[in-house]
Every structure is written in C-alpha cells, then in structure tokens.
Amino acid sequence: MWNTPGKLVYETLAEVVHPGHSALIVIDVQNDNASPRGCQALNGRDISWIREAALPNIKRVLAKARKLGIMVIFARNTRTADGTIESGPRLRYRGKSSGASGLPNHKIEGTWGHEVLDELEPRPGERQITKYRSSAFIGTPLDLVLRGNGIESVVVAGVVTEFCVLATVNDLLHYGYYAVVLSDCVASNNPKLHEAALLIMSHRCDVSTSAELLEIWQKSEEKLLNPNL
C-alpha cells in the first residue's frame, strides 16, 4: 500500500483482492446463452465460446469465493416481453452486438432462459442484479449493495467481454471501486473484440488470470486456518 493525501491506495494484486473487502460479480452467464437447452443453442448458435473458454474457470473461482465467504453477485441481462424498457437506439444497434441478435425470445424476464445458468447453482444469499442495459450499475442497486457491505474491490467474470463486461468495469472505476478482470473467465464469440476489450481494460484496471487469483485466495484461506503463517 502507499499513501496519498487523505487516501490509502492498494498497490499489489493481493491487497486489491483481499477477501475482507472483495466481491465477485458474474455477468450475464444465463441459461439462454450458456445452456445447451437455452435459446442460443436451440437456434443453432455456437456457445462453445462461453462453455469451453470461460465456464470451467468461472466455476472454480465461484467455488473458492463461496468457500471464503466472499460476496457473490450475479448480473442478468434482461429484455422485456413488451419492449417497454428498450429504447429506439438500443433496438437499432442490437444487431451489432456479439450476442443473440435476431432471437426474439432471448433472455426475456420471467423466463427460465433469463435465469442464472443452472450449473452455477446460485444460492439464496447471493444477490442477483436484474439489468436492462450493458452496465450492471445502470438502473440497478449494485452500488448500494457494494457500498453497504464495505466492498472496495470487485472481481469480474462473465460475458460479453466487449459489451457488458467492459461497460460494468468502466462504471466500477467511475463509482470508486478497484476492478479485477479475469481474462480466462470472460468471453466473446468475437476473438478480436474480446482481445481489444481486454487490452483497453488492462490500461484502466487489473487484468489477471483465474489461476493467479486462486493462488492469492488460497494463501488467504491458509492464513485464516493458521493465523501464524
């Protein structure tokens, strides 16, 4: 850590992701885009980019966060059945996204497809943020949830890297939180945009791997079990 007038700044990644002040947010890993029975898969869309590239790592990080008692938050991308919350510009530019453009029943609120991916087995005490825009902060209580629980740092996983992940990370910084993006826990079906988004975020926050994070959290767990270490 280092001091600047009136503030204490975390310097190392271990300081940033300390379990005592960190949360894990999993963005938009939902049945419709990540389950073989979801909307994308049933319409012939390739979902290997999330199931093979990111999901196994997300599961490992999620398991360790739960073991350490770290706050877990799920953000759910949401569309309304009647279109009352969608704006004209949002509808116009939806076709440019990496997701399920052209699938009218994708992630409609109240449906099974809109729910957090079954395999992640969300628990009753884990907050679920319903969001209608890319950032998990816009029109949601996310800042209140984080600030009210003394959270200073947020570890970010999920999809899509260049849209909802990037937008949420930008707002984490604007709201005054440390942001740590796990490069192998975020994914996109467009490799070039995925890499571009990671490059942008690497200049603005911490970009790490799940292995590096888990090693840090493992040491934290060992210290909890044996304070004399």
Q: Could you give the residue numbers annotated as active site?
A: 28, 131, 164
DSSP string of the chain? Answer: -EEETTEEE--SHHHHT-TTSEEEEEES-BHHHHSTTSHHHHTT---HHHHTTTHHHHHHHHHHHHHHT-EEEEEEE-B-SS-SS--HHHHHHGGGSSS-TT-TTTTBTTSGGGSBPGGG---TTSEEEEESSSSTTTTSSHHHHHHHTT--EEEEEEE-IIIIIHHHHHHHHHTT-EEEEEEEEEE-S-HHHHHHHHHHHHTTSEEE-HHHHHHHHHHHHHHHH-TT-
